[in-house]
A and B are shown apart, each in its own frame.
Chain A
Amino acid sequence: MIAAFRSQWVKLTRRSFAVGAIAPLVGFSVAITAVGILRVNETGEHIGPAGSLTLADLTAGGGWLAGMGAASAFLGLISLAIFASDIAGEFTTGTIRSVLVLEPHRLRVLAGKTACLAAFLAGGLMIAGLATGVAAFVVAGSESIDTSAWTTTDALSEGLSIYVNVLMSCVVWGVFGMALGMITRSSAIAIAAGAGYFLLGERLLLNSLWPSTEEWLPAGVLSALAEGGNPAIGYGTAIVLAAAYGLGAFLLAATAFARRDITA
């Protein structure tokens, strides 16, 4: 698994891929933070397609990173795309056969890839978080929002808590992407399916078929996890359900990988 991790790291750290993957994380986090702060200052609350932000969130110790939590759904979709395109790309380029000739233990390959992608995501979100913090200070300062709590001793730990929650949420989104990429072997189809479900599919399920499943479906659970819990889903429940979804998606990917003939 460590060998697979180190091998994958060579692939992920090429400049064009790293910039291409991290730039959207930074861009969405900073943009949603800036828009959120401006909207909150006007109306007291911002409810966007990716999450909500209130004045109370912003003036808390972790307020400098609250916008990142509000952007978690978009960050999750980007994570899904990164994982899905990495796995599906191995099949479309045929490199999966070179990989498996050198490391025939497929579970090790998958585990190493997953760990490496998660580590890459942790780094990307760290950069996004730092950029978001800088942007939050600048925009909040210009909007005369009280940021006194942002410089207290609790500010760092609260910010770190937001970062960890968003990271956990994004990793599970990523594992969903990996499972979709493994099953479809097409980046475009996997990303479209993932985005379609999380942006529309789950909402349709809740509004029409199973309105009582709000506390159980993946997108709601991952949003709750990224927010550190919400009125619908508590933090502990979100962690347990997200872990179960992540494990289930990983097992699905591992089963498909283990059983599949490599004809790419």
Chain B
Amino acid sequence: MSAVPAISVRGLTKSFGAVAAVADLSFDLAPATVTGFVGPNGSGKSTTIRMLLGLVAPTAGTASVLGHPISDPGAYLSRVGALVESPAFYPQLTGHRNLLALARLARLPPARVEEVLAVVGLAERARERYRDYSLGMKQRLGIAAALLQDPALLILDEPTNGLDPAGIVEIRGLLRTLSERGTSVFVSSHNLSEIQAICHSIVLIQRGRLLFSGSLDALLAGHGAVVLAAPEHAADIGALAALVEAAGYPSTARGDQLEIRAPESWGPELNRQAMRAGITLRRLGVRDASLEQTFLDLTDGTGGGEAP
């Protein structure tokens, strides 16, 4: 594995007039990993992606892609595939001719068009006009275009948008396969369960600023684990909550049990303390951390809106 990060961002800032779309953003993307890029609507994800692709010039800060500065996109874009926001193609051209135009621009042989069409399952419909495609087919064509250059880095903005469940599973498998072959994947999505299913690490931003960058496990362990404890007698729930609060962990009563924001490792200690206090626990467990809840916690509940 190469030591050069697939993407390295340092203090990246982009302002449109008085509005800072991205502010002092810094993160690294390890090579050959699938990294999720998550944030509420208008958080600066697309602007960041556009800066990485040389489409938008940063106001301040630096970044490199595949070891090359973003001020010189010609040095690295031949090894990058990208789907930026919604797919954009010429409506009157067929899917095949749209890709042919892009392949010619990238100096690729026409045979490569057939290959990527087969990869995304569009070979049979490639001779139909793009404007007649369904949303899912348009999305597949966008992914095919991103794969044209057999990229070392794939940047995908909402790649599963509009796909049916089978299509989502296909794309998930495709991204895993690409990652196993050494391709780095940077994928933004509002489908957080999808991110959780396919990503090794995550970059979380809000209002253009970094909230978290690191492994998904570290994010969920730090923010999402919930210990569930139910006393044998419902009347003891207040005493149990006081005991938990005294230990420094917040809790919420849900029916006859407490949801406690504490690491899983504190569960046995809770059991001991409850026993010393004369409370017998009927149930003690841990609910798997969810990225959705963690996301909402970190973004003050502003995440999870409709796609931009």
Contact = CB atoms under 8 A, between A and B. Distances in A.
A104 B97 contact: no
A120 B86 CA distance: 30
B88 A6 contact: no
B85 interface: yes
Contacts of B90: 11, 14, 93, 95
B101 A7 contact: yes
Contacts of B107: 3
A183 to B, nearest CB: 18
Interface in A99-117: 99-105
Smallest CB-CB A-B distances: 9 pairs:
A94-B88, A7-B105, A262-B55, A104-B73, A10-B101, A7-B104, A6-B104, A261-B56, A102-B106
A3 B106 contact: yes
B93 A102 contact: no
Contacts of A93: 88-91
B98 to A, nearest CB: 8
A3 B92 CA distance: 21
Interface in B81-113: 82, 84-86, 88-93, 97, 100-102, 104-107
A103 B93 contact: no
Interface in A5-44: 6-11, 14, 16-17
B53 interface: yes
A208 interface: no
Contacts of B74: 104-105
B149 interface: yes
B54 interface: yes
Contact of B82 (A4, A16, A95, A101): A101
A10 B89 contact: no
A10 B77 contact: no
Contacts of B88: 93-95, 97-98, 264
B105 A261 contact: no
A100 B145 CA distance: 13
Interface in A61-120: 93-95, 97-105
Given A102-B148, A261-B50, 9 more contacts: A9-B104, A10-B104, A14-B90, A93-B88, A94-B85, A95-B88, A100-B55, A262-B55, A263-B56
28 contacts: A6-B104, A7-B102, A7-B104, A10-B97, A11-B90, A14-B92, A14-B93, A17-B92, A93-B89, A93-B90, A93-B91, A94-B88, A95-B88, A97-B53, A99-B105, A101-B82, A102-B102, A102-B106, A102-B148, A104-B54, A104-B73, A104-B74, A104-B77, A261-B55, A261-B57, A262-B55, A263-B50, A263-B55
Nearest to B88: A94
A14 B53 CA distance: 29
Contacts, number: 83
B120 interface: no
A6 B102 CA distance: 10
B84 A97 contact: yes
B199 interface: no
Contacts of B230: none
B145 A98 contact: yes
A11 B54 contact: no
Do most interface residues of chain B lie in helix, strand or loop, or is the interface mixed? Answer: loop
Interface of B: 50, 53-57, 73-74, 77, 80, 82, 84-86, 88-93, 97, 100-102, 104-107, 145, 148-149
Interface of A: 3-4, 6-11, 14, 16-17, 93-95, 97-105, 261-264
A151 to B, nearest CB: 42
Given A6-B104, A10-B100, A263-B56, A101 B77 contact: yes
Contacts of B84: 97-98, 101
Contacts of A8: 101
B66 to A, nearest CB: 13
Nearest to A93: B88
Given A104-B74, A105-B74, A11 B86 contact: no
Nearest to B84: A97
Contacts of A17: 92
Residue in A94, A97, A264 whose Cβ sees the most chain B Cβ within 10 Å: A97
Nearest to A112: B105
B143 to A, nearest CB: 12
A4 B54 CA distance: 18
Contacts of A105: 74
Contacts of A7: 101-102, 104-105
A258 B106 CA distance: 19
A105 B80 CA distance: 15
Contacts of B97: 10, 14
Nearest to A20: B92
B93 to A, nearest CB: 6
Contacts of B82: 101
Nearest to A4: B105
A98 B102 contact: yes
A8 B105 CA distance: 8
Nearest to A95: B88
A95 B131 CA distance: 14
B117 to A, nearest CB: 15
B93 A11 contact: yes
Contact of A101 (B55, B85, B91): B55
